[in-house]
A = this chain, B = another copy of it.
């Protein structure tokens, strides 16, 4: 089958589109003929984490398709089912942190940028009927990450003021949509005027130019909750906008890893600073119910044929996108 495979050279240069052997589903597994897949920041990181000495790897964590074969002992999933993939392997019930052995589809196991994938049957869910194949293919990783950060960790409630720095990424657009559906007032920031304007169309109550004085731009409004996934470039600016007793959740650091925090300011502010990552199967199921209830569709940026993966990676590397970048496969 055709796939986007990483081998030997760290980074994008090690990536090719070509033939690779497929495998049959084992016990408890299903094989899915993928119709669409979705690109995530994680796919960029994987190109550096996957060792040159390891066997070639199909990358990609998000995908949707039709079940083509089922292994032994599989119940509740049948050939012909239209499914989406939960990319979290080995994290069932919600908990403080993922259990030992937790992995994400696309490293170390083969991922979704391929004509077919074999995954545990428990990692499939029926494709939401109101979503197109393109929308279903880009949903899982970003929407699950946003759901855990906003609900499980941030405990968002109706009436809260929520700030989302850096509104470009797929996960940030889900955060915006989820927070609005939960009844929050949502403030976003972006370096791009165009993205700020688009965010207003998607429901943001206010969009701030990242280069402005945030406090002034917010008119002195203090935030109950900040969901921060940009990193050092925005972290402290965001922290300064919290009300006493407010919460900042973080799950991304593409723009810088290290932040300096003043302990005295922090404890007098009675702040809560919480780390988050993707999420459990339980949260994935809750997220699917939530988006169906509120008929939330991913904000789509661009969809490329899988063979044009290079263009897609270029776009996410330059942070040029607003929303999700997808691939059409079959």
Residue ranges of A at the interface with B (Cβ–Cβ < 8 Å): 95-98, 231-232, 235, 243-246, 250-253, 256-264, 266-277
| B267 engages A257 (CB within 8 Å) | no
| Closest-CB distance, A172 to chain B (whole angstroms) | 15
CB closest chain-B residue, reference A231:
B263
- Please pick, from B96, B235, B258, B263, the residue contacting A257 in the complex, using a CB distance under 8 A: B263
| B270 engages A253 (CB within 8 Å) | no
Copies in the complex: 2
| Closest-CB distance, A106 to chain B (whole angstroms) | 17
4 extra interface residue pairs, beta carbon distance < 8 Å, beyond A97-B269, A250-B267, A258-B260: A98-B244, A252-B267, A261-B261, A270-B276
| B263 engages A260 (CB within 8 Å) | no
Whole-angstrom CA separation of A268 from B275 in the bound complex: 7
Q: Given contacts A250-B263, A263-B231, are A96 and B270 in contact (CB under 8 A)?
A: yes
| Closest-CB distance, A168 to chain B (whole angstroms) | 18
Q: Given contacts A95-B245, A97-B244, are A266 and B260 in contact (CB under 8 A)?
A: no
CB closest chain-B residue, reference A102:
B244
Whole-angstrom CA separation of A305 from B251 in the bound complex: 54
Whole-angstrom CA separation of A261 from B231 in the bound complex: 11
* Residues of B close to A231: CB separation below 8 A: 263
| A264 engages B269 (CB within 8 Å) | no
| Closest-CB distance, A251 to chain B (whole angstroms) | 5
* Residues of B close to A259: CB separation below 8 A: 260-261, 263
